[in-house]
Structure 1
């Protein structure tokens, strides 16, 4: 498993504004989209491409294009939906699937309540969007779901993560081809399973239901 924590002043700046409790939902949504587009550059570093012969106005040349089967982007509902636009802006030819997961606030265990994905993901590169890698339960369950459908490799894009979450994912994926791209690696979790210092509940802040 590979973990990449980005180190870029634009990302750090935008995350600082995102974390601020005074930041309103419209600004939060816009910043989330911008951050995901920046993180997507790193997340798509290993996207598969195929050679393509073209002719420029000056001469023939060979470039590349995204290979088939196309990558699939999978936001984890509901908060991951707020990351979708930023990802497909960079990868517009990708297909989009959805996983609905909810965490039990007592046990912190995830439950899948909805899915809209191809039945067969064989040889597909999957990009999972989840703002917060906290306990790792929801993201680990989502990755396991995709691998059981036949996914070739899975890359997770998260705004924030914790050492506990990263460790939990590593145990869950058991040597499968997984990459995690984080905007920041925070200190850890509090007694309620929230990231510290974190940014609160990403879903509530995205959609104004605080």
Structure 2
């Protein structure tokens, strides 16, 4: 098992392995792909929330007893990397009521072949929030690194970014860690690596196309 200091791998249970097998299968129908992807996304969000700061809080239960518990100590928001990352927004909303969600659109510049920011709509107070960055696939890491750069330029501390994704390539993890070592990555599975076309192998194909039912 490959391990990285900046990565939290979901517990590799039989349930998770079964879910990943379904979404990786090329024969899986779109409705099933969506349903089982959403289940994995929910697991990722729940795990990501464990990295938020908490403070002690005492409450009184209906029995009149005092309970010493916790409450979240900081505001959060989600930021999806369009378009595939938008598939993860509902899972975040189901876990965090009334959560604010921003969007970032990054595409490859045809002249330079480098990731280029085309659009960003973020909460005005994002610098005061912990950010759950959403994108299902981590391949080379170029798009994610650009998104993190955008967040930092908007005042978000590097250590306040938690990147959630379903499948990661070691090359992408290393790329993020080399530039932004304080960013925490939460992923469901780490694949073997990138093939000659820079696609994740074994991967699951184009997540956005399979989820939204489009060709590109």
Inter-partner Cα distance in structure 2 for 1:113 and 1:42? 30
Offset at residue 120 of structure 1 (A): 4.5
Which secondary structure does the structure 2 equivalent of 1:122 belong to?
Answer: helix
Q: Which moved more, 1:198-207 or 1:148-157?
A: 148-157
Question: What's the TM-score, normalizing by structure 1?
Answer: 0.89
| Counterpart residue number, 2:25 | 20
For residues 134 and 68 of structure 2, what CA distance do their matches in structure 1 show?
A: 32
Change (3 A) 1:85 1:199: same
User: Hey, what's the Cα distance between the residues in 2 that align with 1:162 and 1:108?
Assistant: 20
Would the aligned equivalents of 1:108 and 1:137 in 2 still touch at CA under 8 Å?
A: no
The equivalent of 2:163 in structure 1 is 156
- Extract structure 1 runs of 4+ deviating beyond 4 A: 104-108
Give yes or no for the alignment of 1:136 onto 2:141.
yes
| Candidates 14, 29, 33, aligned match of 2:34 | 29
> How far, CA to CA, are the matches of 2:211 and 2:108 in structure 1?
18
Structure 1: 5+ residue stretches without partners: none
2:77–2:100 contact (8 Å) kept in structure 1: yes
Q: Does 1:166 align with 2:170?
A: no
Match of residue 69 from structure 2 = 63
The residue aligned with 2:195 is 190
SS of the residue 1:135 aligns to: coil
Which runs of 5 or more residues in structure 2 are unaligned?
none
Equivalent-residue separation in structure 2 for 1:151 and 1:121 (angstroms):
7
User: In 1, are the aligned partners of 2:137 and 2:167 still within 8 Å (CA)?
Assistant: yes
Number of aligned residue pairs: 207
CA RMSD of aligned residues (A): 2.0
Partner of residue 85, structure 1: 90
Match of 1:122 among 122, 127, 132: 127
Structure 1, 138-147 or 97-106: larger mean CA deviation: 97-106
CA distance in 2, matches of 1:139, 1:40: 17
TM superposition shift of 1:81: 0.7
Report the alpha carbon displacement of residue 158 of structure 1 after superposing the two structures with TM. 0.7
